[in-house]
Amino acid sequence: MRTTISVRGRMSDIAIPTSQPEQIGLFDRALRRVASLWRDMASAVAGGAEEGIEAQMRACLDGRGGEVSARNRAARLAQEYLAADEAGRLAFLRALAGFDSDPEMVARAIERVQAARDRAERSAAQAQLRRALEPPRLRLLTQFTTIPDGVKFLVNLRAHLLRAANGDPLLAALEADLKSLLASWFDVGFLDLRRIDWSSPASLLEKLVGYEAVHRIRTWRDLKNRLDSDRRCYAFFHPRMPDEPLIFVEVALVEGMAGSVQRLLDEKAPLLDPREADTAIFYSINNCQRGLAGISFGNFLIKRVVALLGAEFRNLKTFATLSPIPGFCRWLEHALAEDPRLLSEAEAEALLAAAPPPPALPAPEGAAAGPGAAPAGTMPPSGGAQALRRLLARRGWHRDEALAKVLEPVLTRLCARYLLAESDPRDPKRARDPVAHFHLSNGARIERINWKADVSEKGLRESAGLMVNYLYDPAKIEDYHEDYVGEGKRPAATALRRLARGWG
């Protein structure tokens, strides 16, 4: 631990359970504490549970008994959804999705727009058309916000919809409606930015552990290390979900740009006085609510934290990330198979020298060479690629210094190409790597690729241990953002740009 010996002696080193929130039913656990309250509210509704779900929804829309009754009916619907099994929840969603716009009302409203004789009449007709197009299910969804934890209920409802709506047009329409509502309710202007530290409530710290998906928090000692005096953790919260982080970022205050996540998270590393730090490293950013997927907070979070840290610590000169490259090895496997020119001849020779192919069986005497055989004395074009695969498949290859010396220039160059030149197949202006796209969209610059930066099993599997620093220069964030979003330009350090162009 990077704190005092006395504190370290009292800290528990018990491992934290590894299950993620969705895997252990966080949806049910988070709402169980209000389930009894919902049941109490539901018991005040006349009619009882013998009414079907659709009839209950219609009664809720009709507003029988006034606002209090409508709220109690919404509570009963939420409680029944929570108590249902997977099939029952799906039936609930289908019933809710069925409250769509009335096609006859929409047709009549369109006729009035087409028949309008002047601008004023057309404007009034268009307003009527907008009202006709608004499906009643929007009002139903909005009524859930009036019950305790109703907003959280809707966020989790959309998480279920995202899983269930695949290929179902009716559920997809409901999901789109709910996303539109949530996007307006979770506008960044409504969010609170709060620091999370070791004195935060235990329930919040537990959620932090569960939601951390980039670098798993293994022990309470590990967690305390990440919340120490030379570390910062900030999260966005919504006023209607005050105990639920929406997204959080973990920051290390260090000297110089970090190049290894293992060293960055080393519990035995000396504690640094944050007033001596010159660099803030954003090393983990996590979206916490699956139901808010597609509603972006990350760009605002990073910019807010950069401004906050810059005001608190005037000595900070550099703001950068230490980021994973999750798509690199997956891309590399396909690229090696499809493009024999991916490796230079010198690279292929070096790789083959480090991992020579197994001896081939001699061809029968007099047998002709196959159509794909390489001429005598030459190297098969795929030989270097096969050697690279063999080397990366070796267990513990990163601990062999001689082998690492061969692999470093090859993998670093290929990674530079991947980050700077490879595009999403669906959008040529978008970087292929999702983390690169996120940071470039936010106005960052690709600054440095780090060798053996994450030697965890996950890091080796996804990116051959490579990580990348994205630099956030407050003076250039907006320009870089415009260049990437508008024209697909990827700002990068000169050395990386040179490396990505070819074989050096």
Catalytic residue list: 323, 439
Residues 442/303, Cβ–Cβ less than 8 Å: yes
Q: List helix spans (H) across 116-149.
A: 119-133, 136-143
The residues near 241 (Cβ < 8 Å, ≥ 6 apart) are 149, 151, 152, 155
- The two beta strands, 318-321 and 427-431, are unpaired
The residues near 268 (Cβ < 8 Å, ≥ 6 apart) are 1, 2
Closest CA to 433 of 419, 451, 444, 416: 419
Closest CA to 442 of 470, 463, 409, 464: 470
Residues 271/2, Cβ–Cβ less than 8 Å: yes
Query: For the CA atoms of 464, 424, 214, 161, what is the dihedral angle to 10 degrees?
Result: -140
Quote the CA–CA distance of 422 and 436 in Å, as a whole number: 11
Angle at the Cα of 260 (from 256 to 262), degrees rounded to 5? 125
Cα→Cα distances 344→333, 382, 416, Å = 17, 11, 15
370's tokens:
């196959």
Residues 244/152, Cβ–Cβ less than 8 Å: yes
- The two beta strands, 231-237 and 427-431, are unpaired
Please state the three-class secondary structure of 96-117 as a single string.
Answer: HHCCCCCHHHHHHHHHHHHHCC
Cα→Cα distances 479→69, 431, 489, Å = 53, 17, 11
- The two beta strands, 423-424 and 279-287, are unpaired
Return the exposure string of 470-481: e unless at least 16 CB atoms fall within 10 Å of the residue's CB, then b. Answer: bbbbeeebeebb
Q: Which helix (H) or strand (E) holds 43?
A: helix 26-43
The gap from C-alpha 347 to its chain's centroid, in whole angstroms, comes to 35
Closest CA to 309 of 227, 230, 224, 192: 230
